Amino acid sequence: MTANTAAAAAIPTGTRSSRALKASGTGLFNFFAGLVILFALWWLAIFVATLDPKASHWAAFGPIPAFKAMIKMWQSGLIPKALWTSGYRLGAGLAIAILIGVPVGILIGRSKRFRELSNSPFQLMRMISPLSWEPIAVIVFAGWDQAIIFLIAVASVWPVMFSTAAGLAKVDPAWFKVARNLGAKPWHVVTQIILPAITFDVLTGIRLAVGVAWVVLVPAEFLGVTSGFGYTIEDARESLEYDHLMAMILVIGAVGYILDASLLMLIKRFSWHRG
């Protein structure tokens, strides 16, 4: 038994529970306090800006009009439609990135020759802005949905691929020797050793990929489509409905935060360092 384990065992269960509840309460308070500070600064900035009568139109950018517009847009079905459409594009692009990135990442981590041959072209392609592929994607693919999914996949595949390869590089080579000595087949090595060992790193790569894809998704939807977060923002800008514009920005931030928090929970679940 280690010193940390012995110390933890020496603490009564009731004390540990009270400490956990206290920590949870503190975290919840800090969460809402941070949001209150953010919205207060937002309101203050708009208030100061609208002191000048010439800038009175800036009032529509404030938090109160944005929240009112959000309720109306949700009731009218505009936000649910945008959420469903953008969610489909994001999910399809990420699925393609994972299906490509994980196997190729495993190959990079297991094969020195493939790693050396692929390093230069992969690094070159990784540094190309995903949105710079947009004119080509529009020409190649029949519809805008396919083009946007392609852009999301191109943006997301690199974090997944390189995180997978980095996770596999940390696996003790002795594990593979033991598996071969015990008669394990390649499929057993993948399912019983590689995947459990790199799950944490793969999820970390997916979390990074979601952040990149979320940034690419909105500008990719500015042109050519009639639904989605990007289209709704562009439509609100053209119709001068600035409260709708700010409402959609809030929705985008909230959905992105929920996605990131969900992946962070999965990462903690599969982390080897549970403390």
Q: What is the pLDDT along the chain (275 residues), one digit of tens a residue?
A: 444 444 444 455 556 566 656 666 777 888 888 889 999 999 999 888 888 788 777 888 889 999 999 999 999 999 999 999 999 999 999 999 999 999 999 899 888 899 899 999 999 999 998 889 988 998 898 888 999 999 999 999 999 999 999 888 887 777 777 777 777 777 777 777 778 888 888 999 999 999 999 999 999 998 778 889 999 998 888 888 889 999 999 999 999 999 999 999 988 887 765 44
CA gap 6, 8 in Å, rounded? 5
In a domain, 252, yes or no: yes
Q: Which helix (H) or strand (E) holds 255?
A: helix 242-269
Q: Show the domain range for 137.
A: 62-269
Which amino acid is residue 196, in one-letter code?
P
pLDDT for the residue 7: 44
Q: Which two tokens stand for residue 170?
A: 């940390």
In a domain, 2, yes or no: no
Comparing CA positions, the residue from 19, 220, 121, 183 lying closest to residue 228 is 220
pLDDT for the residue 3: 46
pLDDT for the residue 158: 95
Helix (H, G, I), strand (E, B) or coil at 171: coil
In a domain, 130, yes or no: yes
Where helices occur in 50-170 by DSSP H, the ranges are 63-75, 78-110, 112-126, 134-140, 144-169
CATH number at residue 171: 1.10.3720.10
pLDDT for the residue 154: 95
In a domain, 55, yes or no: no
pLDDT for the residue 9: 47
Contact 184, 192 (CB under 8 A): yes
Q: Which two tokens stand for residue 94?
A: 């990420």
In a domain, 73, yes or no: yes
HSE, side-chain direction, 13 A CA sphere, residue 31? 8
CA gap 124, 205 in Å, rounded? 19
Say yes or no: 43 and 100 in one domain.
no
What's the total number of domains in the chain?
2
Q: In angstroms, what CA-CA distances link 22 with 16, 18, 25, 159?
A: 10, 6, 5, 36
Main-chain phi, psi angles of 181, to 5 degrees = -65, -30
In a domain, 241, yes or no: yes
Comparing CA positions, the residue from 166, 257, 133, 250 lying closest to residue 207 is 257
In a domain, 8, yes or no: no
Q: Which residue carries 């020496």 as its tokens?
A: 10
In a domain, 274, yes or no: no
Say yes or no: 219 and 178 in one domain.
yes
Q: State the pTM of this model.
A: 0.81
pLDDT for the residue 14: 55
Say yes or no: 20 and 80 in one domain.
no
pLDDT for the residue 5: 47
CA gap 219, 132 in Å, rounded? 12
